[in-house]
Amino acid sequence: MEFILSLGIGVMTGSGVWLILRPRTYQVIIGLSLLSYAVNLFIFGVGGLKVNAPAVLQDGVDISAYTDPVPQALVLTAIVIGFATTALFLVVLLAARGLTGTDHVDGREQP
């Protein structure tokens, strides 16, 4: 499972970095989204990977049977904030497209 998770993070980060370096605003926003997915998985991973383990403590159960709840809370916050800022970026992207008439990130086509 560690291998699949790290492969997923790596592929998404690689694609994301490539995409945010592209000249079209739509590519940039998809790149940022992919990067934020990769980061969310990464945060999830730092708590250690466990399958079928609860995050909420109960009395009398061994602590090693639990998964770390903090990264899950962090991921939740990061998802919400990432979603909001991406939506905001989308609005600016559309405004830029409307004002400049092009979807190039610099607002004008390269000659």
| Cα 50 to Cα 1, 63, 96, 111, distances in angstroms | 9, 13, 44, 53
Q: Closest separation between CB of residue 68 and other proteins, Å? A: 8
Task: Check residue 46 for interaction with other proteins (CB under 8 A).
Answer: yes
Span interacting with other proteins, options 49-57, 58-66, 92-100, rule CB under 8 A: 92-100
49 touches other proteins by CB under 8 A: no
For residue 104, what are the β-bridge partners?
A: 24
The per-residue DSSP string of 61-73 comes to S-GGGS--HHHHH
How many residues can be counted in the chain? 111
Q: Does 105 bind other proteins (CB under 8 A)?
A: yes
Establish if 43 lies at the interface with other proteins (CB under 8 A): yes
The reply on whether position 6 binds other proteins by CB under 8 A is: no
